[in-house]
Amino acid sequence: MIKRTLFFGNPAYLSTKNEQLVVNFPEEEKEEKTVPIEDLGFVVLENPQITITNGLLMKLVQNKTAVITCDKQHLPCSFVQPLVGHTEQTVRYRYQLDASVPLKKNLWQQTVSAKIYNQALHLKSRGKYSLKLERWSKEVKSGDTQNHEAIAAAHYFQNLFKNLDGFSRNQKGLPPNNLLNYGYAILRAITARAIVSSGMLPSVGIFHHNKYNAFSLADDVMEPYRPYVDALVYDIVESGCNIEELTTNIKAELLMIPALDVVIDDKQSPLMVAMSRTTNSLYECFEGISRKILYPEFE
């Protein structure tokens, strides 16, 4: 079942009754609305004047619904996660924490290779075929010691948005960097939610390890999924709409990321479901059941 994403950009009072999320709009003459909590996968809270009851927060967390709050720039900045995301959480933590350095280097090699290959497939779908990316995806070594990930990313974005004067991928750079930032933040929350549901720590990565980063593993696992966000942003740019600011319509399109169709293990699946398969396969690698992370292939 595809879980719903709710976005709140206006002042609202959110509470719960009879296992429903209840929405009231104090500054508008709108009737009360209700949504079954079991249907929700993500709730995005953007307006600083939103009030949410503790009872609702508790039920959302118990349902493994990701509650995302936004900062003054309207970008997602926090993610509420449950303390217990899986019944075998303790033993799964142990397998993750005990993972050997060679294993983590191999997992990062697989991740970078999958990311570069998906970037190559995305460019190919836009008529911008890159032999370099396909070749680099096969040349990634254990631990990506030659930094193919960064080299490929620079080449990829130069070709993807080469018609936009002055564009380079930079968080504080020119549009559509603002759209990419928003999309990646949503993707990060999707990944963190799946990691917690698979009984692992999102803060303990296989490559990323900044002590100030609470979502290092999410930043690792989401890498091969980034081209799906890039594709959505590319379509928005090509539509000719104003991308100087994140309008409500643009945000609505980017909030469709969890429901995007992806192909994983030769089967079509919503992205958020595919992500759960990826994180579960990662845990199996930590446990020693498998040696391969299951990632989608861009089509």
Binding-site residue positions for Mn(2+):
149, 208, 223
Task: Work out whether strand 51-52 and strand 13-17 pair parallel, antiparallel, or are unpaired.
Answer: parallel
Contact 283, 100 (CB under 8 A): no
Give me the residues paired with residue 267 across strands: 264
Query: 263-266, long-range: CB within 8 Å, 24+ apart, which pairs?
Result: 263/296, 263/297, 263/299, 264/294, 264/295, 264/296, 264/297, 265/294
Known binding-site positions = 149, 208, 223
* 47 φ/ψ angles, rounded to the nearest 5 degrees: -75, 130
Which two tokens mark 273? 């479901």
